Amino acid sequence: MPRTELPKLHTLEEVAEEYGLSLRSLKDGARARRFPHVRFGNRRYLTPDQVDALIKAKTEQPPEDEAMDKVRARRARARRAA
């Protein structure tokens, strides 16, 4: 039977150090099951795909054009009123 290639596992400590993240927030998030991770006993790991997914999930997108138009209009009204 052919052997399946397994992904490399990164500890939460490695991920925190590599990306400048708080180890405490990663541990708290993993404990609260806010993101998928691999757990063996009390140790938690992330695969490269899970790290990518975590970063994408936490990436803030710029507001849509319509939302920006509303913000600009609100600011213009506030300037006129001042």
72 domain-assigned:
yes
2 domain-assigned:
no
Contacts 24+ apart (CB under 8 A), 34-37: 37/12
66 domain-assigned:
yes
55 domain-assigned:
yes
5 domain-assigned:
no
74 domain-assigned:
yes
| Res 41: pLDDT | 94
Tens digit of each residue's pLDDT (9 = 90 or more) over 32-66? 999 999 999 999 999 999 999 999 998 987 767 77
Q: How many domains does the chain have?
A: 1
Question: What is the arithmetic mean of pLDDT over 3-23?
Answer: 94
- Is the C-alpha dihedral spanning 41, 11, 60, 53 positive or negative? negative
Q: Residue 34's domain spans which residues?
A: 10-81
43 domain-assigned:
yes
38 domain-assigned:
yes
Q: Which helix (H) or strand (E) holds 51?
A: helix 48-58
